Amino acid sequence: MNVVRLQNSHQEFTVGKILCVGRNYAEHAKEMNAAVPEAPVFFLKPSTAIIRNGESVVIPPISSDVHHEVEMTLLIGTGGKNISLDHALTHVAGYGIGLDMTMRDVQAEAKKKSLPWTLAKGFDTSAPLSEFVSAARVRNPNELDVRLAVNGVARQSSNTRNFIFSVQHLVSYISRFFTLESGDVLFTGTPEGVGPVRSGDRLEATLADGATMLATLTVQVR
């Protein structure tokens, strides 16, 4: 369940930690009425939350407001601690597209009570992941198009050049506190345009470099 693969390669990685960035686009922070953070805000999802292309997001019965958050993902190839900004990209094996599915009502309640987001963010099927494109094929991870369509209608569209914290900054910063291991996955934050999904919806997420499609992910909502 928690093994991921690089495109056009037989190399397999067993996913360990899934680290997620809470706010990494100023426009999304604004729509959530949240301040632009001075340092990256992180939370974790368990690897059991992963689903793949063609599988289904299952809405837990405790929520009536599950939201999509499309995000560029990256796969750590070489682990490390206290990774410098200069070396950060050499630790990345590949890039992909993912969905940080979120029970927004459960998260709002947790925020109100200053409780953790674990349930709201880490439930089964909350981490749909595409295959990863080899980092060698990516010109600049801080200049890629991140898009999501729901039932064929565009919902989220941005570019990683709008990141508050670059890929290098995220990898370097988090490695000061969490030892990174081969197979760890990082969700890099969602742009503006998050919104609710309903049973029967079809979500299509893409990562592209201009006209070059790098990764695609399609899941249904149940």
Rank residues 34 and 62 by Cβ distance to Mg ion and give the closer one: 34
Determine if 69 is a binding residue for Mg ion (CB under 5 A). Answer: yes
What part of residues 128-147 is at the interface with Mg ion (CB under 5 A)?
none
Q: Please, what is the minimum distance in Å from the beta carbon of residue 8 to Mg ion?
A: 28
Q: Please, what is the minimum distance in Å from the beta carbon of residue 188 to Mg ion?
A: 9
Q: Which stretch binds Mg ion (CB under 5 A): 9-17, 140-148, 153-161, 184-192?
A: 184-192
What part of residues 7-66 is at the interface with Mg ion (CB under 5 A)?
none
- The mark string for 74-113 relative to Mg ion (x by CB under 5 A, - otherwise) is --------------------------x-------------
Determine if 190 is a binding residue for Mg ion (CB under 5 A). Answer: yes
Question: Six-digit token pair at 119?
Answer: 């349930």
Q: Which stretch binds Mg ion (CB under 5 A): 30-38, 54-62, 161-169, 185-193?
A: 185-193
Which residues contact Mg ion (rule: CB under 5 A)? 69, 100, 190
